[in-house]
Structure 1
Amino acid sequence: MILTLLTLAIGLAGLLAGGELLVRGAVRLAESAGVSPLIVGLVIVGFATSAPELVASLQAALAGSPAIAWGNIAGSNIANTLLILGSAALMTPIVIRADIASRDTGVALAGSAALVLLAWSGWGATWIGLAMLAALIAYIARCYQEELRDRSVSVPNAPYERAEAAEMKEPPLHASGKGWTIPVLLTLGGLALLVVGGRFMVDAAIELARIAGLSETAIGLSVIAIGTSMPELVTSVMAARKGETEVAFGNVVGSNIYNLLGIGGVTMAIAPAPLPAGLLPWDLGLLTLSAAGLLFVALRWRRVGRSLGGALVLAYTVYLTWLLVTA
């Protein structure tokens, strides 16, 4: 058990460190290639910051453990909405911009409902994954067009706010000098750490489920999901502490959208299989209920205060306890 937990920790550390290196390398490569800052923010940062969740889910699916793969996707979004947003709101009440409230939270809810439909119907095919990716690309393209429409002001959308959250890290994402050597080394090093760390983490998670008598679904929803969501927790709480509460909220919603359509789409396209039936009704039900609740709060109150933040964290604690007790 101790060796398994140690392997799990090493894999998680490699996954997170690899994701961080990949973000920095990919951003600097794109800038060296002359890619516009808008594309870097909306596309490069968005996909690169989702790399830990992507690698973990994809490796689990390819290893014959779809319960861990899809549990990670659903669990990461539940953790984002309840634990991470709640923790950020406990720091500082979260203000929600109008456009994010009306559009981006709706996209996240639609993606959550799509997972429920897939799990209920038992559908699983490559074309479904490609359709999910196409929906994400269309959404990003819409955000890109809105940003281009008026460059004199920042247009609030979740991918933009997610990039802003990533910018708040130290050291900064952008390098002062030009050149290819360091960006290439960062990117390749990040990819290597992601692959090795993801493999260690998935293998250890499968072994942990066997030793502890837990289901692979529970491991994916809890240990893997919380581990891969750590970057979002750090960036959202950091944004809230700096008073950038809109950024903290957009980071959570943007991560949810990328998880559902991006990671879910890639996982379904490369390892097509029906979603595990064990995610219904409770886990995917909570995923959809939390997304619907977030949309209601965003449209009705336009803020997440400390009381609601505390309630979200409490709700996640109760869910996690129930999950591990009943697994």
Structure 2
Amino acid sequence: MTDYLLIALGLIGLVIGGELLVRGAVTAARRFGISPMVIGLTLVGFGTSSPELVTSLQAAFAGAPGIAVGNVVGSNIGNTLLILGVAAALAPIAVNPAALRRDGSVLVLATLLCAAAILWGHVGRLAGLGLFASLVAYLAFTLITEARAGGSAASEMYAAEADTVPEPGTSLGLALLMAFGGLVITIFGARFLVEGAVNVATVLGLSEAVIGLTIVAIGTSLPELVTSVIAVRKGEGEVALGNVIGSNIFNILGILGITAIVHPLEVPEEIARLDVWVLCGTTALLLLFARSGWRVARREGLVLLALYAAYLWVLLS
């Protein structure tokens, strides 16, 4: 019972801590006069992925690479099938062709790099540096091209993503304190979640990878779910799609990259047998649905949700 309580407290801590971190960081950036486009592309992306980062780091240091790697792979699968599925089921999502061509291409490259690392069986520091360097290059290229374009549809989408973060109306000092407090809560939440998940996996006879791919991955993806639902309710469905694609890129290049730099990871064989192929398949399906008519329809959202239910059934059975 204590282990399930730890998991519950960990998930609550990740949601609250991640929300405080994003709100504090975005508010501070606004006070410094940083443009909404830059905030949406960088801070919102990093902030909503902070639960995944802290959890994967905690799992790596706890000697649970299955949770660390499963968290990244499971979060990306959940982002596509669950979060995009829910968003599209609520309302059809319009797709920005220019943004999809650029960010979708980066997502494909990141997914292929992730698959190669997983099939190799080991994600070392050199591979981690390569992944993280790719993220830095992607962000730099996007910021430069959008700044030169000046008011493109893609930059407006990033700015709209920043607008999904509520403005608490606090001073710079309080905003920084909020961000720091959110980070502390996220760290403790991740610690509770990892400790509880490892113990539950042992008691139930499940592998750490399965726990990482399910409970941990869904829990750490809650900030993306909240952001996407808010965007859809505001009639900005393209922000929900951009949030999913951006989060998937951050998870692979940033979360997996940083975790491997800090603590090299051995990849469980079961992830290489099944889940990496599911990851590749869901990425291809995301781009196929987005490209067909440049929109993700409600029926396609329902298909994504049905596929996620089938995936969880296969994992847990």
Assess same fold via TM > 0.5: yes
**1: CA distance, partners of 2:307 / 2:182:** 35
Q: Which residue of 1 aligns with 2:202?
A: 210
Q: Is the 8 A contact 2:161 2:243 kept in 1?
A: yes
State the one-letter code of the partner of 2:71.
N
Deviates more, 1:268-277 or 1:74-83: 268-277
Q: Which residue of 2 aligns with 1:147?
A: 146
**2: CA distance, partners of 1:118 / 1:301:** 33
Equivalent residues in 2 for 1:215-230, closer than 5 Å: 215-230=207-222
> Cα deviations across residues 59-109 of structure 1 (Å, max 9, x unaligned)?
001110010011010001101111111111111111111012212122112
Deviates more, 1:69-78 or 1:185-194: 185-194
Q: Is the 8 A contact 1:8 1:205 kept in 2?
A: yes
**2: CA distance, partners of 1:231 / 1:78:** 15
Provide the aligned C-alpha RMSD in A: 1.8
In structure 2, list runs of 5 or more residues that go unmatched: none
**2: CA distance, partners of 1:230 / 1:60:** 18
Q: Which residue of 2 aligns with 1:84?
A: 83
State the one-letter code of the partner of 1:61.
A
Q: Which residue of 1 aligns with 2:310?
A: 318
- Of all paired residues, the percent bearing the same amino acid is 45
- Relative to the length of structure 1, the TM-score reads 0.91
> Cα deviations across residues 265-303 of structure 1 (Å, max 9, x unaligned)?
111111112322220221110100111122223334311
**1: CA distance, partners of 2:94 / 2:253:** 25
In structure 1, list runs of 5 or more residues that go unmatched: none
Change (3 A) 1:292 1:138: same
Q: Which residue of 1 aligns with 2:163?
A: 167
State the one-letter code of the partner of 2:92.
P
Change (3 A) 1:53 1:81: same
**1: CA distance, partners of 2:66 / 2:226:** 26
Give the count of matched residue pairs.
317
Equivalent residues in 2 for 1:97-116, closer than 5 Å: 97-116=96-115
**1: CA distance, partners of 2:129 / 2:105:** 21
State the one-letter code of the partner of 1:302.
W
Change (3 A) 1:162 1:223: farther
**2: CA distance, partners of 1:6 / 1:239:** 32
Q: Is the 8 A contact 1:132 1:265 kept in 2?
A: yes
**2: CA distance, partners of 1:163 / 1:6:** 38
**1: CA distance, partners of 2:82 / 2:172:** 40
**1: CA distance, partners of 2:56 / 2:95:** 30
Q: Which residue of 2 aligns with 1:289?
A: 281
Aligned-pair distance for 1:262? Answer: 0.7
Change (3 A) 1:41 1:174: farther
Give the one of 293, 299, 302 matched to 2:291: 299
**2: CA distance, partners of 1:198 / 1:163:** 29
Q: Is the 8 A contact 1:118 1:274 kept in 2?
A: no
Q: Which residue of 2 aligns with 1:58?
A: 57
Change (3 A) 1:130 1:13: same
Aligned-pair distance for 1:167? Answer: 2.5
Deviates more, 1:109-118 or 1:132-141: 109-118
Aligned-pair distance for 1:163? Answer: 5.9
Q: Is the 8 A contact 1:46 1:162 kept in 2?
A: no
* Higher helix content, 1 or 2: 2
Q: Is the 8 A contact 1:105 1:294 kept in 2?
A: no
Change (3 A) 1:162 1:87: farther
Q: Which residue of 1 aligns with 2:117?
A: 118
Q: Which residue of 1 aligns with 2:16?
A: 17
Aligned-pair distance for 1:312? Answer: 0.6
**1: CA distance, partners of 2:302 / 2:135:** 31
Q: Which residue of 2 aligns with 1:71?
A: 70
Change (3 A) 1:28 1:236: closer
Aligned-pair distance for 1:179? Answer: 3.5
State the one-letter code of the partner of 1:186.
M
